[in-house]
């Protein structure tokens, strides 16, 4: 088979460059296979994070020809013969070395999510939930934490200063999962709007486009959260209804 021309980002926090590699193409390969063969034959010191090679661990996230993708789920057959494949690390996160980035930002933001606080158990000491009440959240739990959605989100990709007060799409689906939970008693809407930057998302849907699990992040998580915030603080009809019918919040507002 013909040769593959690959450009790989090589470097660390002190700088780096795109380095050319040429390697024989093999049938049925994915980009991660090619990177491994380059590592085995030409660049033994190449740093690359990977684990399952099955699109389920979310470790091998990178940018392939500028598109945030999993290397293990991108077939080399999708490229034109003779086309150069450029592989770079995720742009939004600090570089560690070569294709490996420091994604700790996401875990720090995850720690800030107020946990599930279930209501009291029923008289027989159990919790009861119905399928229709929990199935929305099941979609969100398909997340493999590849952080491609966080990487592509322009709010922090192009404006790093927003990282201090922006949770990002991966965390928004976590918030949505908890907010829609039938047993939960925490109210995270003020936290989301005031400190987690829900209002900064301008719903351009790039997170949904790159999600390898095809989670409808924008339509099923972010927009429903935005609508809940609207009902909570921007909708005078809802406010009036609460006043007239003396409805009070059943949830406890968590601000931090």
Partner 1 sequence: MTTTNTNSDNNSITAVEIGKPRGGPNVKTLRKDKWWLQPLFTSIGLGLFVIYGIWAAFRNGNYFAGAMGRNYLSPFYSPCVTHGCQYTTVPIVGSWYNISPAIIILIFPMGFRMSCYYYRKAYYRSFWFSPPACAVSEPHKKYSGESKFPLILNNIHRYFWYAAVVFGVVLTIDAVNAFRFPNNQIGMGLGTVVLVINAVLIWLYTLSCHSCRHLTGGKLNLFSKAPIRLWFWKKVSKINPHHQLFAWLSLIWIAFTDFYVYMVASNMIHDPRFF
Considering only residues 32 to 71 of the shown chain, the ones binding partner 1 according to CB under 8 A are 63, 65-68
Tell me how far, at minimum, the Cβ of 207 lies from partner 1, in Å.
9
From residue 158 to residue 177, the character string flagging contacts with partner 1 as x (rule: CB under 8 A) and all else as - is xxxxxxx-------------
Tell me how far, at minimum, the Cβ of 122 lies from partner 1, in Å.
14
Residue 9, interface with partner 1 (CB under 8 A)?
Answer: yes
Nearest to 182 by CA among 235, 136, 146: 136
For partner 1 (CB under 8 A), the number of binding residues is 84
Tell me how far, at minimum, the Cβ of 51 lies from partner 1, in Å.
20
What are the Cα distances from residue 145, in Å, to 23, 41, 72, 170? 31, 30, 15, 7
Residue 213, interface with partner 1 (CB under 8 A)?
Answer: no
Return the residues of window 83-122 that contact partner 1 according to CB under 8 A: 83, 86, 88-95, 98-99, 101-102, 105, 108-109, 111-112, 114
Gap between the Cα atoms of 26 and 200, Å rounded = 44
What interhelical angle do 104-111 and 169-179 show, nearest 10?
A: 20
C-alpha Rg value of the chain to the nearest Å = 22
Instruction: Give the residue, chosen from 30, 32, 70, 180, that forms a contact with partner 1 under the rule CB under 8 A.
Output: 180
Gap between the Cα atoms of 76 and 62, Å rounded = 15
Question: What pairs with residue 21 in β-bridges?
Answer: 6
Residue 155, interface with partner 1 (CB under 8 A)?
Answer: yes
Tell me how far, at minimum, the Cβ of 44 lies from partner 1, in Å.
20
> Is 227 within 8 Å of 185 (Cβ atoms)?
no
DSSP H or E stretch at residue 62 = strand 61-64
Identify the three-state secondary structure at position 7: strand
Residue 209, interface with partner 1 (CB under 8 A)?
Answer: yes
Return the residues of window 183-202 that contact partner 1 according to CB under 8 A: 184, 186, 193, 197, 199-202
Identify the three-state secondary structure at position 87: strand
Instruction: Give the residue, chosen from 230, 239, 240, 247, that forms a contact with partner 1 under the rule CB under 8 A.
Output: 230
Q: How many CB atoms lie within 10 A of CB 103?
A: 21
**Residue 6 or 201 with smaller CB distance to partner 1:** 201
Q: What is the DSSP letter of 22?
A: E
Tell me how far, at minimum, the Cβ of 202 lies from partner 1, in Å.
5
**Residue 54 or 230 with smaller CB distance to partner 1:** 230
Residue 5, interface with partner 1 (CB under 8 A)?
Answer: no
Q: What is the DSSP letter of 184?
A: B
| Binding range to partner 1, per CB under 8 A, among 22-30, 36-44, 48-56, 128-136 | 128-136
């Amino acid at each position: 088979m013909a040769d593959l021309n690959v450009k790989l980002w090589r470097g660390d926090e002190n700088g780096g460059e795109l380095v050319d590699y040429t390697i024989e193409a093999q049938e049925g390969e994915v980009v991660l296979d090619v990177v491994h063969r380059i590592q085995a034959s030409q660049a033994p010191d190449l740093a690359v994070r990977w684990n399952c090679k099955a699109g389920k661990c979310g470790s091998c996230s990178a940018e392939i020809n500028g598109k945030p993708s999993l290397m293990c789920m991108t077939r080399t057959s999708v490229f034109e013969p003779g086309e150069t494949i450029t592989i770079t690390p995720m742009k939004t996160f600090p570089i560690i070395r070569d294709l490996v980035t420091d994604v700790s930002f996401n875990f720090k933001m995850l720690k800030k999510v107020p946990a599930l606080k279930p209501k009291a158990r029923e008289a027989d000491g159990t919790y009861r939930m119905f399928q229709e009440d929990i199935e929305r959240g099941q979609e969100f739990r398909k997340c493999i934490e590849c952080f491609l959605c966080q990487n592509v989100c322009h709010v922090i990709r192009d404006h790093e200063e927003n990282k201090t007060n922006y949770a990002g799409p991966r965390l928004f689906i976590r918030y949505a999962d908890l907010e829609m939970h039938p047993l939960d008693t925490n109210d995270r809407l003020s936290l989301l709007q005031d400190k987690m930057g829900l209002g900064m998302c301008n719903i351009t849907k790039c997170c949904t486009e790159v999600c390898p699990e095809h989670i409808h992040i924008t339509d099923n998580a972010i927009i429903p959260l935005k609508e809940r915030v609207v009902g909570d603080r921007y909708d005078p009809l809802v406010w009036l209804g609460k006043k007239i019918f003396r409805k009070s919040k059943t949830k406890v507002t968590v601000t931090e």
